[in-house]
Amino acid sequence: MTSGKNERSTLLVWLNLLGWQVEVGHDGDSLVGVARHFAADGSTYRVGGCAPTREELTFQLFEAAMKIVEARGQRLRRPLLAA
């Protein structure tokens, strides 16, 4: 999922737009990555991954970050009060 040969992955762009800071590096033949998010309430969230290709790593980071976003959204929702 890249938007061009030398451009960043679309999923990495989305992570950045959602406020995640992503770092990617090499560890031997594998790529390793960490994505961090600093929430308005002072919470810090971090996800990581390791994969043989940039596309696989990006998907791992995006999927893990979205699980956190979903979990936070469910925690912030309040049940409806009966009238």
Q: What is the pLDDT of residues 25-51, one digit of tens each?
A: 999 999 999 999 998 889 999 999 999
pLDDT above 70 for 6: no
Average of per-residue pLDDT values in the chain: 86
Domains and CATH numbers, the chain: 10-75 (3.30.160.20)
Q: What pLDDT score was predicted for residue 41?
A: 87
What is the spatial distance between Cα 80 and Cα 9, in angstroms, rounded to a whole number?
Answer: 39
pTM of the model: 0.78
pLDDT at 31: 96
Q: Is the pLDDT of residue 75 over 90?
A: no
* Residues belonging to the chain: 83
Q: Between the CA of residue 36 and those of 24, 40, 43, 70, what are the distances in Å?
A: 12, 13, 11, 16
